[in-house]
Amino acid sequence: HLQPQLQYQSMRKHNVSTASSISEHEFSCHCCYDILVNPTTLTCGHNFCRHCLALWWESSHKNECPECREKWEGFPKINILLRDATDKLFSEVVQRRRAEIQANPKISRSLLAFQRYGDNLGRSRTNQHKGAGFFFSGVLSALTCVAVMVLVYHWSYGVVEQHDLLISKPVARWTPEEVVSWLEQLGPWAQLYREPFQQENVNGRLLLMLGDEELLKAPYSIENQAHRRAVLAELDRVKALGVKPPQNLWEYKAANAGKSLFLLYALKRSPRLTILYLYLFDYSETFLPFLHTCCPAIAHIDQEVESRFLETQWAEFLVKYCLLPYQLIAEFAWDWLAVHYWTSRFIIVNAMLLSVLEGCALWRLWTRARIRTLPHKMWNHLWKMLSQGFAFALLWPFVPQFVCNCLFYWALYFSPIINIDLVVQQLMHPETQAL
């Protein structure tokens, strides 16, 4: 029993001593005719240095063995056993060649490209395996179809153009039909008073003359005091502006094309900075209504004190502002759900997706222990936003209306679809950087 073991041990000793007598020819690469470095075995069984294979792959654009031209399957791996053997047997040569390869930028680039090709191959295989790629591309196509349909609806029914008229046409020149449509937009309760306005053929000039007394008496007979006050308040706004104030997103966009486009992109890219900008430079016009919509006071607020905030409102706002700024935007869109059925939904979905993307980015920084670079990143972001805002302001007068519309609808309807894809990528490969 002991004898075979002894025999085996003596055989091993013998082998080690004869190892140096193995000729270099057996361990040479058939591309460079030198000792194999990181030998890579193909499916045909041939071995090549990894960098020789990468160079060949890059120049030929083929997945073929350089020697027998057989196609290889999958992504070739380094043959670990062979590598360890050559590293030990020809350590000097291999070390010298490794240093040469590292010093050669062309070879390094080829190796990197080859590795990337392999990574992509592996990724697409795992996607296929899970079937998720197929599923989400289906969802994405469906959503793109919905977005295109919404756009076609808006353009073909002229929703946008119809409202353009009243917000840019002076009140004094409104026709009786336009006065009635203005009245209807005040709310469902205004339907009650549609008839008398229609019968009397009230045009814009006459509308401007109407006061509390006229509205109370026949033929208008608005006996409900609240209704009368609402009509008069709206009439005062119209008088002050000279035109109808914008009452929905499309009217707002028509009246403030540049501002709406700026807000759309800025809120998407950097909600905190944009809200801060609104607080500093556009307090009463935009910031106040925004805040009252997102963080409504629990107690009823009178018209007179609407320009002030309760402390609880501020606290709620600041917490959301710091932690979940996109939540504020989603809540604002939620309030408009009745007016803009599809658009509000797109904005809410997009806000949630952007929150997830922001969370992923933070999580990545945290797991890579690079959270200390956050202030630096924020500073860079601030500069980027400022320079982009400046460029936008400079270029704005030269942007054609058509391009502006395209950018607007793109940000509104297509960016949520792109973000769905980004979120899926992030959740499936959390280690990769989002674009």
Residues in contact with Zn ion by the rule CB under 5 A: 29, 31-32, 44, 46, 49, 52, 65, 67-68
The token pair that represents 359 in the structure block: 């969370």
Rounded Cα distance between 353 and 330, Å, is 11
| Cβ count within 10 A of residue 269 | 16
Residue 49 Cβ, how far from Zn ion at the closest point, in Å? 3
Residue 117 Cβ, how far from Zn ion at the closest point, in Å? 19
Rounded Cα distance between 65 and 43, Å, is 9
Residue 85 Cβ, how far from Zn ion at the closest point, in Å? 16
Virtual torsion, Cα 344, 349, 350, 353, nearest 10 deg: 160
Q: Which is nearer to Zn ion, 74 or 242 (CB)?
A: 74
| Cβ count within 10 A of residue 159 | 12
Residue 398 Cβ, how far from Zn ion at the closest point, in Å? 57
Tell me the backbone φ, ψ of residue 40, rounded to 5 degrees: -120, 125
Residue 119 Cβ, how far from Zn ion at the closest point, in Å? 23
Residue 43 Cβ, how far from Zn ion at the closest point, in Å? 8
Decide if 220 contacts 231 (C-beta within 8 A).
Answer: no
Coil, helix or strand at residue 252: helix
Residue 115 Cβ, how far from Zn ion at the closest point, in Å? 17
Residue type, 379: W
Q: How many helices (H) and strands (E) does the chain have?
A: 22, 2
Q: Which is nearer to Zn ion, 49 or 171 (CB)?
A: 49
Residue 83 Cβ, how far from Zn ion at the closest point, in Å? 13
Q: Which is nearer to Zn ion, 23 or 284 (CB)?
A: 23
Q: Where are the alpha helices (DSSP H) in 257-340?
A: 257-269, 271-281, 288-294, 311-323, 325-335
Residue type, 266: A
The token pair that represents 115 in the structure block: 């590795």
Decide if 36 contacts 47 (C-beta within 8 A).
Answer: yes
Rounded Cα distance between 345 and 26, Å, is 68
Decide if 254 contacts 273 (C-beta within 8 A).
Answer: no
Q: Which is nearer to Zn ion, 56 or 262 (CB)?
A: 56
Q: Which is nearer to Zn ion, 94 or 347 (CB)?
A: 94
Nearest to 231 by CA among 248, 218, 242, 216: 216
Residue 73 Cβ, how far from Zn ion at the closest point, in Å? 12
Q: Which is nearer to Zn ion, 44 or 361 (CB)?
A: 44
Nearest to 404 by CA among 265, 247, 244, 249: 265
